[in-house]
Structure formats: structure tokens, C-alpha cells
Amino acid sequence: MTTTPNVIQAEERFLDDDELKLIRQVKQGNRHAYQRLYQLHCGRVYGICYRLLGDKTSAEDVVQEVFISVWNKIASYREESKFSTWLHSVATNLAVSHYRKRNTWWARFRSTEEVSFDEPGSCDEHEEHGLDVKIRRLPDQARMVFVLFAVEGFRHEEIADKLGIAVGSSKAQYHRAKNLLKEWIENE
Amino acid sequence: MNDAQFDQALKMQIDTLPKELAPERDLWAGIDHAIERQQSSQRFNFTKLTAVAAGVMVIGLTSWLTFKNVDLPSVRTTGQNLQYVNWMTESFEQQKQTLLVKYEDTPAMTDNWQEQLKQLDDAAKAIKKALAQDPSNAQLIKMLQQTYQQQLDLINAVNQDPWQMI
């Protein structure tokens, strides 16, 4: 028997309480408290957006959109669920919405899906996780589905709903992504 | 590598993915600026709204002060009430005569309309008599007004060309 889980739970509880104080200050319009909240969550939100969208500029724009939107909607956060869960849900929805808007007209200008915004070989690639580099190379829709399903843990029904596609298409895109990743990993 | 092995290897790689990534740009400055702009805009809108509300209140108050005495005969003095009744009667008589002249050559739709008109006229006279005893009675003034209006409506209704009515 170990005491580690209790220590972790106590730490989480402390962080939650601390965060709750910040959230209540933000609800009163305190921008300094909001900056602190931003600093606590920015990395995770950027991670979600970057993996979903596959390019830095769009991800950065959406992160800003997320935090502006959360500032406006903070009064509707009822403190019944974890703030991070609520925040990540806002981030996912805005990233998907950004992708859907971009996809309608952007697709016309992109003859091939395989081209990514940040070309492989850019200096940051060396610091990136090997799997992240490959995820970024995936075709747009396959990448969105793969990240939502395998990394963020959404169900295919939820993904289909978010992306406005059939559940079968979501499953097919996931298998497409997995096959491409397998091919790239095996040919390394 | 078979599919099951690959799935396991992929899962392991996914588990080692960093949850957090660092953006290259400082994003807070843009967020802070947008929030500040929104707040300024809301403050401006609130000021505008207050100004509009104040304007509406001034107009409303002015209108109320201007017209309150016109629509409430009960607050007039006795002299003012008599003056009002005389003015109303004169105005009615003029309109009645104008209509009667207008429909002089038009065949009426009913035969007994003049009898009805006389009944209404008698009612008006009775009300006026009562008003002479109680000049500040707002209900009597209102009744007189209605009786006059009924007479004018009756003259119009019985003398109008039925084709025009359609």
C-alpha cells in the first residue's frame, strides 16, 4: 500500500482551490488573475490547437480566440466540473470551427492534402516529438480525427458531430491516419 | 510489425507525447489588448445608453407635463370645463351642418335615421343640462363627447354611397 495517490490528490485539491480563487477573481473582472490563469493553461491549450490544426500561426490565433472567448463566457462556468475540462472543450470546439471555416475555401487553393503549413525540416522539428512531426504531416481531416480520437480521447460519435461528418467517415479517417503513420514509421 | 504490435507501439508513443507545447509568440499581449478594447467599448456603449435613456426620460417628462391637463378634464377648473364643453359643442355643430349639407341630395339608406339622430341630440341636451349642474364631472363630458361622435357617425353611415363603402 502506498501513500502516493493521497499526496497527488492533495496537491490537485490545493491547485484546484488556488485556481478556483483565480477564477472567482476573473469573474469580478480581474485581468491580472486572468493572466495567471492564462499562464497556467496556455501550454495545454496551444498543444490541443497545434495538433488539431497542424500549423503554428493558426494555432496561435485560435489560442487567442479561446482566451478572449473564455473571458467573455467565464460567468457561465458553474464550477461543477474542472475548469481545465471546460477550457479544453472550448479550445477543441474553436479549433474545429477554425478548421471547418478554413477548409471551405482553403481547400480550393491547396491541390494536395499532404502539404503541411510548417514544412518538414524547419528548425523546430528537431525539438518536436517524433510522433508530433508525423501527425502534422497527416492530411487535414485524418489528422483532426486522429488527434481527437487517439490523443484527446473523444468517441467517434462526438468527433462526427464536431466535424459534421458521418460516424463511418470518422472511423475511416482514423484508419487512414493510422495506416499512414505505420507506413512512415516502418520506412524510417 | 503486425497491426496489434503497431497499435501497442503507437499507444506507447502517444502516451509519451508532451501535453503542453509552447507557442513561439507572446499571445497574452494580444488577448489583453482585445479584452481592454472590449471593456472600453462596453463602457462607451453604457455611456451612450445612459445618455439615450436620459434623453427619453426628458422627452417623456416634458410631454407628460405638457399634455397632462388636456386629457384629464377632472383637474380643470369649473370655468375651464364650461369653456371646453362650449368649444366641443360649437365644433360638433359645425361638423354636423357640413355633413348635412354634403349629403343633402344623397338618398339615405334608412328612413328613420333622422329620428335616431334626434334621439341622440336629445341625449346630448340632457347631458349638457346635467353638466350645467355639475361642470367638473369628467364622466358627463366624456358621455357628451361620445354622443356627438355617434351623431356624426350616424349621418356618415346612412348617407354614404354603398358602392363607395365596398
Distance CA B166, CA B158 (A): 14
The ipTM estimated for the assembled molecules is 0.78
Q: Is the pLDDT of residue A22 over 80?
A: yes
Weakest mean pLDDT among A22-26, B54-58, B118-122: B54-58
Distance from CA of A13 to the nearest CA of B (A): 20
Dist. CA B32–CA B158, nearest whole Å: 76
Q: Tell me the average pLDDT of chain A.
A: 84
Residue with cell 338618398: B107
Q: Does A186 touch chain B (CB under 8 A)?
A: yes
Q: Is the pLDDT of residue B155 over 90?
A: no
Q: Which residues 9-68 of B are in CB contact (within 8 Å) with A? A: 9-10, 13-14, 16-25, 27-28, 30-32, 34-36, 38-39
- B132 alpha-carbon distance from chain centroid: 35
Output the pLDDT for position A34.
Answer: 95
* Rounded Cα gap, residues A109 and A107, in angstroms: 5
Using an 8 Å Cβ cutoff, are A164 and A100 in contact? yes
Q: pLDDT tens digit string along B24-71?
A: 989 999 999 999 988 877 766 666 777 777 777 767 666 665 555 544
> Per-residue confidence at B3, pLDDT binned at 50, 70, 90?
confident
* A157-to-A72, A87, A90, A161 alpha-carbon distances in Å: 29, 21, 18, 6
Q: What is the DSSP string of B54-119?
A: HHHHHHHHHHHHHHHHHH-GGGS-HHHHHHHHHHHHHHHHHHHHHHHHHTTTSPPS-SSHHHHHHH
Q: Is 80 exceeded by the pLDDT of residue B76?
A: no
